[in-house]
Amino acid sequence: MLIRNVLTPERIIFPNHPHKRDALVALAETLATAPQVKSRAELVSEILRREELMSTAIGRGIAIPHVRLSSVTDLVVAVGISQCDIVDFASFDDSPVRILFMIASAYNQHAYYLQTLSYFSSKLKNADLRETLLQAKDPQTVYDIFAKSDEA
């Protein structure tokens, strides 16, 4: 998987919301600007519904909210580097979330969807990478960090 195929700097934000719902809505609205997303309302509501079923926080300050929708034509990603701790994500390790990767894909992209989830989960095990992301000050820097890791 190559980051440039699923992410653009325009879909990287730095929200300042201490509550999960607000951070998820901000990131979903950003993701909805992608041409692959045909219904902003469906994306926002389904992301929130998915999160109600089970937290997408995977520990180490990371959450990967994700959905598959008929109104999405191709897999797309948005990234949020939170400016504050999001304390109500109910992470299994009780750490507040600061890094969010939101993934939306079409229903027929199950394998690609799982591959993308795995890609981000694997990359973000690296503590140096997480710290570098948290120190980033602009979307292009975050994008470049991932583009560079694709080349490595």
Local structure of 102: helix, strand or coil? strand
Q: For 47-90, what is each residue's pLDDT tens digit? A: 999 999 999 999 999 999 999 999 999 999 999 999 999 989 98
Q: Mean of the pLDDT values across residues 4-10?
A: 92
Query: Does a structural domain hold residue 147?
Result: no
- How far apart CA 59 and CA 99 sit, in angstroms, is 10
Q: What angle, rounded to 10 degrees, do the helices at 40-53 and 20-31 form?
A: 140
Query: Does a structural domain hold residue 112?
Result: yes
Amino acid letter at 108?
Answer: N
Q: 108 is in which domain, residue-wise?
A: 3-139
Sign of the C-alpha dihedral computed for residues 22, 98, 4 and 140 taken in this order: positive
Task: Note whether 112 and 78 are within 8 A (CB).
Answer: no
Question: How high is the pLDDT of residue 54?
Answer: 92
Query: Does a structural domain hold residue 148?
Result: no
Query: Does a structural domain hold residue 150?
Result: no
Question: How high is the pLDDT of residue 151?
Answer: 57
Question: How high is the pLDDT of residue 113?
Answer: 87
Query: Does a structural domain hold residue 145?
Result: no
pLDDT of 5 above 70: yes
Question: How high is the pLDDT of residue 150?
Answer: 62
Query: Does a structural domain hold residue 46?
Result: yes
pLDDT band at 41 (very low <50, low <70, confident <90, very high): very high
**How many domains are contained in the chain?**
1
Indicate yes or no: pTM above 0.75. yes
CATH number (domain holding residue 10): 3.40.930.10
Q: For 92-105, what is each residue's pLDDT tens digit? A: 898 999 999 999 99
pLDDT of 35 above 60: yes
Percentage of the chain with pLDDT > 70? Answer: 97
